[in-house]
Amino acid sequence: MYITAAVVISALVLVLSLLTISKGYEYKHTIDPHPNEKNDEEKNEK
């Protein structure tokens, strides 16, 4: 009985860990533009 519960809990933890890692790799990271680049664009428009 205890071995069965341990196997089920271990399998559940493994599956949830893999799902979390998978979602982390699917996340699209974005970067805000550097403030100096924004100022350079404004100067070029004038």
| Sign of the Cα pseudo-torsion (9, 15, 19, 22, in order) | positive
Q: What are phi and psi of 25, to 5 degrees?
A: -75, -25
What's residue 32's pLDDT?
Answer: 84
Task: Give pLDDT tens digits for 6-37.
Answer: 999 999 999 999 999 999 998 888 888 888 87
- Tell me how far CA of residue 40 lies from CA of 6, 25, 34, 35, in angstroms: 61, 34, 10, 9
* pLDDT reported for residue 23: 94
CA quadruple 8, 11, 15, 16: dihedral sign: positive
pLDDT higher than 60, residue 46:
no
Position with higher pLDDT, 28 vs 43:
28
pTM, whole model, 2 decimals? 0.56
